[in-house]
Amino acid sequence: MKYNLIFYIAKKTSYCERAVRKALSGIGGEPYRVTAAVTPVALGEEVGDSLRICPLTVIIGGFEADGDENLQTVLSRVFSNSSLTLENMRKLTADSGQEGYIVRYKTQILLALPDSPGDITQLCSKELLAYIEDKVNG
């Protein structure tokens, strides 16, 4: 399964990329494209392109940003203007308190993870990976 990895206002990119690659390799995940975005508009463009190419898009970072650039704010705006419901979204929480999100629409999945390799490893649990594999391949 191919996926796109987008870094959004992220700092620990190489460590986080390794954590994502390791976690997703367990379900046959291979990065198709790795890109970066530093504004909400650029993120929107990257996500839009990604969803047309791959069934899985992973966003790393942006949870620590302030105001309108915060990833939660950006995602809230996007999803408030779509047909997605809470049944399509799930909040993920690491022991450290860091949050992530998984959003599913048909066979497309958007996985938003914090800019922390340890939290990425924890959030990408066997259950989450099995869910992703099932929804993308199902």
Q: Are strands 99-105 and 56-60 parallel, antiparallel or unpaired?
A: unpaired
Top-tier CATH class for 2-137 = alpha beta
Domain ranges of the chain: 2-137
> Given this model, what pLDDT does residue 15 score?
96
- The residue among 17, 14, 2 whose CA lies nearest residue 113 is 17
Residue 98 has pLDDT above 70, yes or no: yes
Q: Are strands 99-105 and 89-93 parallel, antiparallel or unpaired?
A: antiparallel
> Given this model, what pLDDT does residue 42 score?
92
